[in-house]
Amino acid sequence: MAPLEPWEKVLVDNEAFAETVHGQIACIECHDGVQSANKEEAHTGLIAYPSEDPDKFCGECHPDVTAHNESSLHTNQAGYWRTLETRSGTQDHPALQEMFGNHCAGCHTSCGDCHVSQPTSVGGGFIDGHIFKRTPSMTRNCTACHGSRVGNEYLGKHEDIKADVHFRQGRMKCTDCHSSGEMHGSPQDCQSCHPGPEEGVLAPPDHRYDGVQSPRCESCHAPVTLSSDGILMHEQHSGELSCQVCHSVSYSSCDGCHVAISDKTGKPFFSLGESYLGFYIGRNANKSYDRPYEYVTVRHIPIAPTSYEFYGDNLLPNFNEMPTWAYATPHNIQRNTPQTESCEGCHNNPEFFLTIDKVDESELAANMNIIIESVPLSVAEILGSIAVQPPNHVDYSIGMCSSCHQGDNSLLISPQNHRNYANDSCEICHTKSEP
Amino acid sequence: MRNKLFLVICTLLILSLTSCSSAESTELLVNENDEVASIEIEPTVEETEIESNPDSDQMVEKDQTDPDTDISAEEPPNYCIECHTDKQALIDTAKPEEEHEAENEGEG
């Protein structure tokens, strides 16, 4: 995104702005300052970003939004702190706080960063002559920050990789899936949204993929969950694989980011080791009621044990407490992918799986719960190993199978992924052995 | 027969006399009432004292003056809007942005 000229950042379209609700409020009501023709004098006590104090300046008219601001990840950047504290094993570490202030805090976002200006982290400047936008611009707000991974994937900016089908065919914007509650924070008690006789308090999410999936694909694609879309693979694999395992394609991974302060300019800067495209299926280390998947897509995140060494030695002694190959939800969904071409797209295809040979030796301990020990067998092998009925089944007839192969006997229970098969269809795969 | 004829004549005579007398009296009453009513309903013009509003004169004067001249004279200028809608003024007064060599390496 090209930066705006300095004058362009602060040029007000008063003809249009004056027609809006916010245009009825005097400038100094929000920005303070002094009425003077002299710029320096006029800017005395100027509040350039009033929404940094949302309760005072936004909350008077939008109390329902500002009430939950403290729980918004855009505001509190809690995800950064969770990973820093987990890997460092400490809280309030002075060196890490300094590092955070220099390199991470700039990603903090206030109301105005989405609703009137471009985010300050990308240079700021009015989106449209200081006119407030109820819905932020996808490219000038959302992907201005979430650009290098989400934006590039979703908009199809990687060569030879198509844009996400939701954008390519549906022209869907970020806000079509991601609700304002995700952006603004949401109440931590159940009753604010679901008034009822019982009280309930939600535990704060422990990590990014904790709690209820929001958004979730099934909200729109309900037939997939109900197995009523006639697609056998949805019946066979639903619950075992996250949607992205089959419907995502190559996405970005990054290695070894290091941060420091420049000797020349005194400004903070970062140096990224390597950035590359790839598609990796790993194990889901955080299975939950809402994400029961055995396999998920994972991407390498740019952390390294020495990422913050400019600020001190051994700042991340618990580095292995979190994986470097992290559960990911790539934003390049396609209906047809190499994985959906055939069973062999995944079965017996080591290319797509995060096997031990793809993980750096220094990171093996951090990723033991993610690494795939063995690639799934080919379908022919799976069927060949179990398909033939034992010799003592020769006298059994069609329709008798579930008399024994069901219930609580773990030796005889039919696998869960067979639940949609009829009792009289067993012999299609499980042929009788030769007498 | 004669008695009957006499009775009929008498009855008609009485009826005719009675009807004549009542018509006269009604007519008289109506005339009297009309006169009274017309006197009472007729509106009278009374002068009402109106308090003079000290601002009203100014308001009249305001209306007669040129609106453009009036606004500039009465409302203080909004320097914020004046400057922030003037592209050239913003260019002229913009602080030169610090140019420093970007030292970041790789895509952020």
**Residue A264 to residue B103, Cβ atoms within 8 A:** yes
pLDDT at A159: 93
**Residue A33 to residue B80, Cβ atoms within 8 A:** yes
**Residue B101 to residue A11, Cβ atoms within 8 A:** no
pLDDT at A81: 94
| A414/A167 Cα distance (integer angstroms) | 41
Low-confidence spans in chain A with pLDDT less than 50 = 409
pLDDT at A391: 82
Higher pLDDT, A302 or B6: A302
Answer whether residue B69 shows pLDDT above 90: no
Q: What chain B residue is nearest to A36 in terms of C-alpha separation?
A: B79
* Closest alpha carbon to A233 in A378, A342, A375: A342
- Chain B CB contacts of A301 under 8 Å are none
User: For residue range A65-80, what is the model confidence (pLDDT) as tens digits?
Assistant: 999 999 999 999 999 9
Answer whether residue B30 shows pLDDT above 60: no
| A78/A69 Cα distance (integer angstroms) | 12
Higher pLDDT, B26 or A250: A250
Point out the residue among B77, B94, B107 whose CB comes nearest to the CB of A7.
Answer: B94
Average pLDDT over residues B82-95: 95
pLDDT at B8: 74
Interface predicted TM-score (ipTM) of this complex, two decimals? 0.78
User: For residue range A88-138, what is the model confidence (pLDDT) as tens digits?
Assistant: 999 989 999 999 999 999 999 999 999 999 998 888 999 999 999 999 999
| B65/A161 Cα distance (integer angstroms) | 69
User: For residue range A12-22, what is the model confidence (pLDDT) as tens digits?
Assistant: 999 999 999 99
Average pLDDT over residues B23-47: 43
Taking the CA of residue B59 and the nearest CA in chain A, the distance in Å comes to 25
pLDDT at A319: 97
Distances (CA, A) of A105 to A123, A269, A416: 14, 13, 47
Q: Is B72 left (phi over 0), alpha (psi -120 to 50) or beta?
A: alpha
Point out the residue among B95, B101, B104 whose CB comes nearest to the CB of A270.
Answer: B104
Mutate to test the interface with B, among A36, A39, A310 (most CBs of B within 10 A): A39
Mean of per-residue pLDDT scores for chain B: 62
Confidence grade of residue B19 (pLDDT, cut at 50, 70, 90): low
Answer whether residue B28 shows pLDDT above 50: no
pLDDT at A401: 81
Per residue in B6-35, is it b (16+ CB within 10 Å) or e — as a string? eeeeeeeeeeeeeeeeeeeeeeeeeeeeee
pLDDT at B38: 38
pLDDT at B32: 39
Contacts 24+ apart (CB under 8 A), A419-425: A420/A227, A420/A235, A423/A399, A424/A398, A424/A399
State if pTM tops 0.95.
no
Point out the residue among A11, A270, A273 whose CB comes nearest to the CB of B87.
Answer: A11
Confidence grade of residue B37 (pLDDT, cut at 50, 70, 90): very low
Taking the CA of residue A20 and the nearest CA in chain B, the distance in Å comes to 15
Taking the CA of residue A86 and the nearest CA in chain B, the distance in Å comes to 23
Mean pLDDT is lowest, of A34-43, B67-76, B96-105, for B67-76
pLDDT at B2: 62
Mutate to test the interface with B, among A107, A152, A267 (most CBs of B within 10 A): A267
pLDDT at B48: 53
